[in-house]
Amino acid sequence: MHPLRPGYRLLLDFAATGRIAPSMTYAAISIRDLCKTYAGGKRALDGVSFDVPQGTIFGLLGPNGAGKSTLINILAGLVNKTSGTASIWGFDIDAHPRNAKASIGIVNQEILFDPFFTPVETLEIQAGLYGVPKSERRSLELLRAVHLEDKANAYARTLSGGMKRRLMVAKALVHRPPVLVLDEPTAGVDIQLRQQLWAYVRELNAAGTTVVLTTHYLEEAEELCDRIAIINGGRLVANEPTTELVGRAQEKVVDVTVDRELTDTPSASCFERVEARGRVLSITYRKDVANAGEVLAAVTRDGYGIVDVSTKEPDLEDVFLSMTNSAG
Ligand code: ADP
Ligand code: MG
């Protein structure tokens, strides 16, 4: 058996009816051929399949309208799928909806909660909805974790956007779900709070929580996620470890500092593009055409000595653009 945390086992005991023992090798989330056509005919998901491995921070990336929230809302039980299957922590959302729901905490894209309750009341009510016994509740601990302890008894409507977002994270965690999903959690959150939020996400993950986040902040996904799936127009266009995904960007740029002013711009068949500034050559090449050694050799062939070399790794933006373009 994988390490279920004690709180979670307890939760299953009080939340589950018709409980089944999940298999030992399941993914945290498993989605197969998921389709959603909204009333009105909009096909938001068109046969999406992927697994979120246990213990990862998994990024679901895609432009606006890609279908990310639709997918998350199906997992949350807020949107009915048209076809396909989904399971959470081994529980099929149709066959075992209560167990599936107990296994996941979701922070929705929209900030939704009753403005007349204080943060501590908001968490207590949520705990009540999930049947968490009083002795198992930890509202103040959660508020501390999201840096809201000094607002515990303030009216929720007096909270800033960033504070509300953090309260939603705390709310998603009251039942100690093994899987936490954050749908565009950085909207309306300033940089400092975003950093705090990510630090907390990392902490949760280190303590064993599987985290799924959707974002269009590609640098963030690149920095945070072990694995990234890209969805575009309701279809999955990529799903791989972040480092491999980034490696798939074919263009690389190497900055070469030479030993004297550049009189002309060197050229070679392995260069894709060249820019010359003073003593620095910025050479773009395709990894599938040449390697850095060949590029540097071409520079020295032109009679320049090389003083310094630096390369820039492609960021996810490049990969993302090339993939969504080729898929469209
Ligand atoms: P994302 O979260 O990636 O921005 P969404 O899942 O919100 O994408 O939307 C996917 C597509 O489905 C979009 O074209 C959107 O307009 C459409 N859509 C989303 N919700 C509804 C709805 N309730 N009714 C009809 N169409 C919807
Ligand atoms: Mg969305």
What are 40-66's pLDDT values in tens digits? 999 999 999 999 999 999 999 988 899
Question: Residue 4: its pLDDT value, please?
Answer: 42
- Taking alpha carbons only, the member of 322, 109, 107, 106 closest to residue 232 is 322
Question: Residue 211: its pLDDT value, please?
Answer: 97
3-state secondary structure 125-171: HHHHHCCCCHHHCCHHHHHHHCCCHHHCCCCHHHCCHHHHHHHHHHH
User: Any residues with CB less than 8 A from the CB of 184 and at least 6 apart, and which?
Assistant: 68, 69, 109, 214, 215, 216
Taking the C-alpha atoms of residue 223 and residue 257, their distance in angstroms, rounded to an integer, is 29
User: Any residues with CB less than 8 A from the CB of 76 and at least 6 apart, and which?
Assistant: 101, 104, 106, 108, 181
Q: pLDDT tens per residue, the chain (328 residues)?
A: 344 443 444 344 334 433 344 445 689 999 999 999 999 999 999 999 999 999 999 999 988 899 999 999 999 999 999 999 999 999 999 999 999 999 999 998 887 777 789 999 999 999 999 999 999 999 999 999 888 999 999 987 788 888 888 899 999 999 999 999 999 887 767 788 788 888 889 999 999 999 999 988 777 888 899 999 999 999 998 999 998 887 766 778 899 999 998 888 888 899 989 999 899 999 988 888 888 889 999 999 888 999 999 987 666 666 777 766 654 4
Q: Ligand 2 centroid vs 110 CA: distance in angstroms?
A: 9
Question: Residue 316: its pLDDT value, please?
Answer: 64
Question: Residue 317: its pLDDT value, please?
Answer: 67
Q: Ligand 2 centroid vs 282 CA: distance in angstroms?
A: 38
Identify the H or E element spanning 289.
none
Near ion ligand 2, which residues have CB within 5 Å? 68-69, 109
**What is the rounded average pLDDT for all residues in the chain?**
85
* Residue whose CA lies nearest to ligand 1 atom number 21: 38
- Tens of pLDDT, residue by residue over 16-40, are 433 344 445 689 999 999 999 999 9
68 lines ligand 1 (CB under 6 A): yes
Taking the C-alpha atoms of residue 262 and residue 278, their distance in angstroms, rounded to an integer, is 6
Distances (CA, A) of 229 to 4, 60, 97, 216, 240: 26, 5, 25, 12, 7
Q: Ligand 2 centroid vs 290 CA: distance in angstroms?
A: 39
Using DSSP's 3-state secondary structure scheme, residue 45 falls into strand
Q: Per-domain residue ranges for the chain?
A: 250-327
38 lines ligand 1 (CB under 6 A): yes
State the CATH architecture for 250-327.
Answer: 2-Layer Sandwich (3.30)
- Taking alpha carbons only, the member of 205, 132, 212, 199 closest to residue 166 is 199
Atom of ligand 1 nearest to the CA of 36: 12
* Residue whose CA lies nearest to ligand 1 atom number 17: 44
